[in-house]
Structure 1
Amino acid sequence: MPKTKTAPQNTAVAYLRVSTEEQAESGAGIAAQRAAIEAEAARRGWVIVGWHTDAGASGKSMTKRPALADALEAVEGGEAATLVVAKLDRLSRSLVDFAALMERARGNGWNLVALDLGIDLSTPAGEFLASVMASAAQWERRIIGQRTREGLAAKKAAGVRLGRPASLPTEVRSRIVKAHREGANYSAIARSLNADRVPTAQGGKQWYPATVKAVVNSQEAESVGQ
């Protein structure tokens, strides 16, 4: 998102987060995070222009966190120059997600600071640490990908059928294939199924030519594999 204005370098937005379990501890987690950020802001002369808190939110993913979305909108919209967190895991417990956020900060021209690990993209040391973490995240992505491929290959070798299981009743699949073999096109088959109110594989009410084609292709692939 392009910046609409440039924020003064001494401005920052603070992001705080506690999980459901941490929230049960009388809010002590939030208070401790805020105290750490306020102390650093006083030391560095920052003006905190916004406090954004996700309470009862997991750190496993950076999605479905409205306060984080607001904090990112603030730095990317030019309302503040820095996004600061007391601890790295307040942003994310995923190294891959955090590396992506660092690249986003670099690309969009705002600073990212995590107080517990000394990450600060505005300093050479912080930049170096961020680069190391990005390299580690890339390695992690490759390892996960390799393990996934190896796991799928092992299942395939063992005869395990991959992909989503067929959820259409046998009689519906047979009807579609039979009509196709008798010369009906995909549109005509879809109209016939809709007229008879036959549910789709996911329980939907509307068949489309592309849906019918997918069923036919699936059945043909099964026949080849047998």
Structure 2
Amino acid sequence: MKAYAYIRVSTEEQATDGVSLDAQKAKVAAWADLNGYELAGVFMDAGISGTKADRPGLAAALSAVGKGDALVVYSLSRLSRSTKHTIEISERLDKAGADLVSISEKIDTTTAMQHKKAKGERVGAVPYGKALAGDGVALVDVPAEQEIIAEARRLHTAGLSLRKIAAVLAEKGFKARNGKVFAATQIQRMVA
């Protein structure tokens, strides 16, 4: 299992908070060692505010984390200063099959989510192509949506852009759950 550290400080915090990049990295390394994870990468943004969504270190960390991996931060405030952005990052990790760990807040989705995933249970929003089974826990395929996903993947393999795939699906009469044309971001999740 691999862990990826994301560490961040703003210039002001370096002077007043005392939680330096080295201190954050040491905390994450200790967590990884204690929990049997290989610390596979450390990504940082130095002197960049947590209110900025465009942070190269965070973007690289999110790109590196894959299924079964964990993104580990010293605290959620290092990840983002916006609750909405933190939730978006968490949902992105969930969709990638990765976990989020915040050492300070003692948030660790690795144990509970891995247990649920191993049992084939839902660990977030119900993805397109699936529905909740009668027990309200397990996921089952939705044949009509699976057909659309298969078509989107076929078009993607043929080299079409996400927007072109959305246009082709619209021409064929395929619509999203809300009855509207698929957005490029929805297509991206289908073909990922």
- Which residue identity lines up with residue 41 of structure 1 in the other structure? A
Q: TM-score, normalised by structure 2?
A: 0.54
* CA–CA distance in structure 2, aligned partners of residues 103 and 110 of structure 1: 10
1:18 aligned to 1, 6, 9, which one?
Answer: 9
* CA–CA distance in structure 2, aligned partners of residues 57 and 106 of structure 1: 25
| Contact 1:23-1:55 within 8 A present in 2 as well | no
| Alignment correspondent of 1:70 | 60
Is 1:101 equivalent to 2:92 in the alignment?
no
* Aligned ranges 1:194-213 → 2 under 5 Å: none
Q: TM-score, normalised by structure 1?
A: 0.46
* CA–CA distance in structure 2, aligned partners of residues 29 and 121 of structure 1: 25
| Contact 1:16-1:90 within 8 A present in 2 as well | yes
Q: Write out per-residue CA displacement over residues 60-101 of structure 1, whole angstroms, 9 at most, x where no aligned residue.
A: 13x22101100000014x6x7111101110001111111111
- Which residue identity lines up with residue 60 of structure 1 in the other structure? T
* CA RMSD between the two structures: 2.7
- Which residue identity lines up with residue 118 of structure 1 in the other structure? K
Q: Write out per-residue CA displacement over residues 168-216 of structure 1, whole angstroms, 9 at most, x where no aligned residue.
A: xxxxxxxxxxxxxxxxxxxxxxxxxxxxxxxxxxxxxxxxxxxxxxxxx
Percent of aligned positions that are identical: 43
Instruction: Name the SS for the 2:81 alignment partner.
Output: coil
Deviation at 1:16, TM superposition (A): 0.3
Give unmatched runs, 5+ long, in structure 1: 1-9, 128-226
In structure 2, do the counterparts of structure 1 residues 123 and 30 end up closer, same or farther at CA, with 3 Å as the change threshold?
Answer: same
* Aligned ranges 1:215-226 → 2 under 5 Å: none
Give unmatched runs, 5+ long, in structure 2: 116-192
Instruction: Name the SS for the 1:59 alignment partner.
Output: coil
Q: Which structure features the higher share of helix residues?
A: 1
* CA–CA distance in structure 2, aligned partners of residues 38 and 16 of structure 1: 12
* Aligned ranges 1:184-199 → 2 under 5 Å: none
